């Protein structure tokens, strides 16, 4: 007999409780003076034996009741002696590699426990002289080239699910030249195993498939902090429902300053929810977590976050003509909170953008290959760029993002027609103010991977944003030649709003298995993780001391000296969609339908109930 | 004199104890005598016969009828009462404030006082297996004080042997009278009855107050208990919940047996529990007695 929740077995010593209580009360029997035992003495002989027997019976029943309850909590099950898997095992001694998928998707409906049982069964039933290697898809080696008879059940029993994704592809590729049999016990998730469709292997790969066609799972994909008014945190939470029906999910938000619960209706697919949370204190860093309650797969139900507001926000304004930035200079001379640097476009080769949080590229005539590399690299590192166009780009190497089709310099002017009024940039703007300015020169952009936030009355876009929210493109310049904006009230607040929009630094978010590289000027730093504290030495790389930390085994808030980071699971693992895979000569698929139908929980609950009833009856005799 | 509380005395004054049996006495009282003679209560007239005392002639009748009529009186005699109080250790049992012995002592004191008020002579015997203190009946205020003092001083001690004790007391009772027994009768039931019969055979009127603590019947314990016998000091461990039903049944049968056998031998048997108010138990009995008259 095995247990699905063996931790409850630690409660088994509690069965001695009735016995202890019995003896405790026996030693503490009340002594009373009674007038005469004249009438009691005779009765005692007749009835006392029965009551002694009843007492023993009650004691036994109480012990059994506790034992049955504990056993039912630990969810016992027994396994069938001959399962279909045994038919595929080799009769002769062979070298065998068994790979058990321990990615967190295996946590769905006890798949991992089933997987362990299958693993045990395979090992137990292999030829005694077979050599076995056991691997986990999280790249952990459990047993290496060991005689199967020497592999203990306890070793397998103690295996735990990992929060990581499956690295089965890498493992199988490393095994390409292996001559033997490979068993892969997995849920055959499409996300992790689609490589198997074209996988070429010399060895015989036997897949024991535990996956389910129908499943219900949803997860938290992403969390973003949108700029918000003071004393508020504006969250955008992106959830995914992998199943085919709408789910109603209770979701809780815990943080240093807040704690609340919401019930969200989640249709199939991805959905974003915007939430405004009151921020009580004036903290610059807020840590917390979002949790989906009562859901099947736990691995992707929690999302840890760190909200950190950027204090110093260095901005670089790159320009070609001084006249294009006259109003920027005027604007930033009054916005003293920002560190502004101005740089002519021709001088950009001598600086690195990485020390700036935001770039303004104002009215360039060309984006050459070098500038493209610089900008692409900067955007990849989560830098923010605001591109203000107006002139036709003679050379645009940014073609994968946008193309300039033409420059509108028609007679008269254009005005703003449609605008995303809910976007953060336009908060506090009234329609009248937005629609008032006149634009004389506009670049007509063909947007790729960009969403249009504002468009003109002739359908030309005015303001575009990329899907990662790192790039904003204005199609007209804010100068006298292009618009009458400088004379209007819109210009100053609109630019300030864009700066404020990007003034929120992206969360310090990492994923399980990711290596965290951070600069520290210390030889050794203290690391606090959800699974313990330890010290780690920094290394010297290119003259600076860095810490390389890759032991992100569990999701949670990690603290590296004084720096806090959030570590989460990779969400793709939550998509349990099964791979449609067909058998080939060197690939066999066996359904991993095993044993757990024989779960004994309800039997034990029934026993406990029967014992309870018997005890009640006995008490009334 | 803690037993004679003023409100109790006040109530007693309004009630009479009428003895069923007319006994000889040398003091006047309220008890009926078979002899008609000089007494307080008028009975009848009869014609004067030679030899009658002249002072018995009713001169008012003579003035009206011109004939001699003599007044006859129903003579009222004193009752000789013996209060028998069991002071064995079992009587010390109490489940609440008052023990059986305290309760019995109080009742005995009340009876002593009442009988005194009715000009009856009262004696007391306080008994257990080893010892018996006996004060023969007398009618005097001083004697009443002695009785009450004795009751007050005495403490429960020793074991119960009702047959032996009552036989001894029976020997000491020279003249017949009213015997009132206060005991829990925790002894062999046949011996108890035998003892009562001995007293009854001497033509005494016997009243038995079988005094019990309610817990002795109810056995209100919800856990196994070590019971210690107050008399023998022996101990037994048992779960009262298990024997309660049978124990109560046995006790009820015993009460029924005593009641039946007492009626058969003209003995007045009264089962009294210590949770009954003193006065309630006492007056209830007196009322019953007054109805017997």
Q: Do B93 and A34 touch (CB under 8 A)?
A: yes
> A-chain residues within 8 Å CB-CB of B224?
25-26, 29, 55
Q: What is the pLDDT of residue B15?
A: 29
- In chain A, DSSP finds a helix count (H) and a strand count (E) of 11, 36
Indicate if the pLDDT at residue B8 is higher than 60.
Answer: no
Tens of pLDDT, residue by residue over A406-451, are: 888 877 888 999 988 878 788 778 888 888 888 888 888 888 878 8
Q: Is A41 on the interface with B (CB under 8 A)?
A: yes
Q: Is A43 on the interface with B (CB under 8 A)?
A: yes
Which residue of A30, A38, A47 is in closest CB contact with B242? A47
Q: What is the pLDDT of residue A542?
A: 61
> B-chain residues within 8 Å CB-CB of A45?
none
Cβ atoms of residues A413 and A383 within 8 Å: no
Which range, A226-230, A464-468, B276-280, is most confident?
A464-468
The overall average pLDDT reported for chain A is 82
ipTM value of the model?
A: 0.71
Q: How many CB atoms within 10 Å of residue A265? A: 10
Q: Is A369 on the interface with B (CB under 8 A)?
A: no
**Mutating which of A34, A42, A44 best tests the B interface, going by the most B Cβ atoms within 10 A?**
A34
How long a stretch of residues is chain B?
293
The nearest CA of chain A is from the CA of B107 a distance in Å of 20
Q: Do A43 and B243 touch (CB under 8 A)?
A: yes
Positive or negative, the CA dihedral A27, A29, A30, A33 is negative
- pLDDT bracket for residue B284 (50, 70, 90): low
- pLDDT bracket for residue A101 (50, 70, 90): very high
> B-chain residues within 8 Å CB-CB of A39?
247, 250-251, 254
Q: Is A36 on the interface with B (CB under 8 A)?
A: yes
Q: What is the pLDDT of residue B39?
A: 43
Tens of pLDDT, residue by residue over A218-251, are: 888 877 776 565 667 777 788 888 888 888 888 8
> A-chain residues within 8 Å CB-CB of B235?
31
Cβ atoms of residues A187 and A576 within 8 Å: yes
Q: Is A24 on the interface with B (CB under 8 A)?
A: no
Which own/partner contact pairs does A17-23 have at CB distance under 8 Å and 24+ positions apart?
A17/A66, A18/A59, A18/A62, A18/A63, A18/A66, A19/A59, A19/A63, A22/A55, A22/A59
Indicate if the pLDDT at residue B84 is higher than 90.
Answer: yes
Q: Do B186 and A35 touch (CB under 8 A)?
A: yes
Q: Is A32 on the interface with B (CB under 8 A)?
A: yes
With CA atoms as reference, the chain A residue closest to B253 would be: A39
Average pLDDT of the residues in A328-338: 74
Tens of pLDDT, residue by residue over A556-608, are: 998 888 888 888 888 888 888 888 888 877 788 887 765 555 677 888 888 88
Q: Do A44 and B238 touch (CB under 8 A)?
A: yes
Spatial separation of the C-alpha atoms in residues B109 and A549, rounded to whole Å: 97
Average pLDDT of the residues in A136-150: 82
Half-sphere exposure (CA, 13 Å, Cβ side) for A383?
Answer: 23
Cβ atoms of residues A240 and A219 within 8 Å: yes
The nearest CA of chain A is from the CA of B227 a distance in Å of 5
Tens of pLDDT, residue by residue over A51-92, are: 677 778 888 888 998 998 888 888 887 765 556 777 777 777
Which residue of A41, A46, A51 is in closest CB contact with B239? A51
Q: Is A54 on the interface with B (CB under 8 A)?
A: yes
Which residue of A33, A40, A50 is in closest CB contact with B236? A40
Indicate if the pLDDT at residue A190 is higher than 80.
Answer: yes
């Amino acid at each position: 007999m095995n247990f699905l929740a063996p931790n409850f077995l630690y409660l088994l010593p509690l069965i001695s409780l009735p016995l202890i209580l019995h003896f405790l009360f026996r030693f503490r029997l009340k002594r009373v003076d009674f007038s005469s035992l004249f009438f009691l003495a005779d009765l005692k002989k007749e009835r006392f034996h029965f009551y002694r027997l009843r007492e023993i019976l009650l004691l036994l029943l109480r012990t059994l009741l506790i034992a049955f309850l504990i056993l039912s909590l630990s969810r016992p099950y027994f396994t069938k002696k001959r399962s279909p898997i045994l038919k595929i095992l080799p009769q002769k001694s062979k070298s065998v590699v068994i790979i058990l998928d321990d990615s967190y998707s295996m946590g769905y409906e006890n798949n991992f426990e089933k997987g362990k049982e299958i693993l045990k069964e395979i090992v137990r039933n292999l030829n005694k002289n077979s050599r076995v290697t056991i691997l986990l898809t999280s790249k952990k080696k459990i047993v290496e080239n060991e005689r199967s008879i020497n592999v203990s059940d306890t070793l397998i029993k103690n295996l735990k699910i990992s929060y990581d994704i499956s690295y089965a592809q890498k493992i199988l590729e490393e095994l390409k030249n292996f001559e033997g049999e490979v068993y892969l016990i997995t849920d055959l998730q499409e996300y992790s195993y689609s490589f198997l469709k074209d996988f070429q292997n010399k060895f015989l790969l036997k897949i024991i498939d535990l996956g389910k066609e129908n499943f219900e799972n949803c997860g938290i994909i992403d969390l973003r902090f949108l700029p918000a008014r003071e004393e508020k945190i504006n969250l955008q939470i992106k959830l995914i429902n992998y199943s085919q029906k709408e789910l109603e999910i209770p979701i809780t938000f815990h943080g240093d300053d807040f704690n609340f619960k919401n019930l969200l209706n989640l249709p199939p697919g991805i959905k974003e929810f915007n939430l405004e949370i009151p921020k009580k204190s004036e903290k610059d860093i807020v840590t917390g977590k979002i949790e989906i309650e009562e859901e099947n797969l736990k691995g992707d139900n929690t999302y840890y976050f760190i909200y950190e507001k950027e204090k110093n926000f260095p901005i670089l304004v790159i320009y070609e003509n001084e006249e294009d930035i006259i109003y920027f200079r005027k604007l930033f001379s009054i916005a003293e909170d920002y560190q502004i640097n101005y740089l002519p476009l021709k001088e950009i080769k001598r600086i690195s953008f990485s020390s700036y949080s935001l770039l303004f590229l104002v009215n360039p005539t060309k984006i050459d290959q070098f500038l493209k590399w610089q900008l692409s690299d900067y955007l990849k590192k989560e830098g923010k760029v605001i591109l203000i166009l107006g002139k036709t780009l003679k050379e645009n190497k940014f073609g994968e993002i946008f193309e300039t089709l033409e420059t509108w310099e028609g007679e008269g002017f254009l005005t703003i027609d449609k605008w995303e009024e809910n976007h953060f940039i336009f908060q506090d703007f009234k329609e009248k103010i937005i629609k008032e300015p006149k634009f004389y020169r506009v670049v007509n952009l063909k947007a790729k991977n960009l969403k249009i936030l504002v468009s003109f009355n002739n359908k030309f876009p005015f303001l575009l944003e990329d899907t990662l929210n790192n790039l904003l493109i204005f199609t007209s310049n804010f100068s006298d030649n292009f618009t009458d904006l400088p004379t209007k009230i819109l210009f100053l607040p609109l630019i300030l709003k864009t700066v404020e929009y990007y003034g929120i630094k992206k969360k310090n978010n990492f994923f399980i298995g990711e290596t965290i590289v951070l600069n520290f000027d210390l030889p050794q730093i203290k690391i606090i993780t959800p699974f313990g504290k330890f010290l780690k030495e920094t290394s010297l790389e290119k003259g600076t001391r860095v810490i390389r930390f890759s032991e992100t085994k569990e999701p949670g808030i990690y603290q590296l000296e004084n720096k806090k980071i959030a570590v989460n699971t990779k969400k793709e693992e939550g998509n349990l969609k099964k791979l449609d895979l067909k058998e080939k000569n060197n690939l066999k698929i066996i359904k991993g339908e095993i044993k757990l139908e024989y779960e004994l929980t309800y039997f034990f609950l029934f026993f406990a109930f029967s014992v309870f009833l018997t005890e009640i009856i006995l008490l009334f005799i | 004199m803690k037993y004679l509380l003023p409100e109790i005395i006040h109530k007693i004054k309004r009630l009479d104890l009428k003895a069923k049996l007319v006994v000889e006495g040398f003091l006047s009282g309220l008890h009926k005598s078979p002899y008609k003679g000089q007494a307080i209560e008028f009975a009848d007239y009869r014609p004067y016969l030679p030899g009658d005392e002249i002072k018995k002639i009713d001169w008012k009748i003579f003035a009206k009828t011109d004939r001699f009529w003599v007044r006859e009186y129903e003579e009222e005699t004193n009752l000789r009462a013996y209060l028998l109080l069991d002071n064995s250790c079992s009587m010390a049992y109490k489940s609440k404030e008052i023990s059986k012995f305290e309760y019995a002592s109080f009742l005995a004191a009340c009876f002593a006082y009442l009988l005194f008020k009715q000009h009856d002579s009262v004696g007391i015997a306080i008994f257990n297996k080893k010892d018996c203190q006996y004060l023969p009946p007398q009618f005097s205020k001083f004697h009443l004080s002695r009785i009450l003092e004795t009751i007050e001083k005495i403490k429960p001690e020793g074991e119960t042997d009702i047959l032996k004790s009552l036989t001894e007391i029976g020997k000491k009772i020279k003249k017949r009278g009213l015997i009132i027994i206060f005991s829990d009768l925790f002894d062999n039931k046949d011996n108890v009855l035998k003892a009562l019969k001995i007293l009854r055979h001497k033509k005494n009127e016997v009243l038995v107050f079988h005094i019990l603590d309610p817990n002795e019947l109810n056995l209100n314990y919800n856990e196994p208990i070590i019971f210690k016998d107050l008399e023998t000091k022996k101990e037994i461990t048992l779960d009262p919940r298990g024997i309660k039903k049978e124990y109560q049944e046995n006790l009820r049968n015993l009460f029924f047996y005593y009641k039946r056998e007492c009626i058969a031998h003209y003995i007045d048997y009264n089962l009294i529990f210590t949770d009954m108010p003193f006065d309630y138990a006492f007056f209830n009995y007196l009322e019953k007695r007054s109805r017997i008259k």
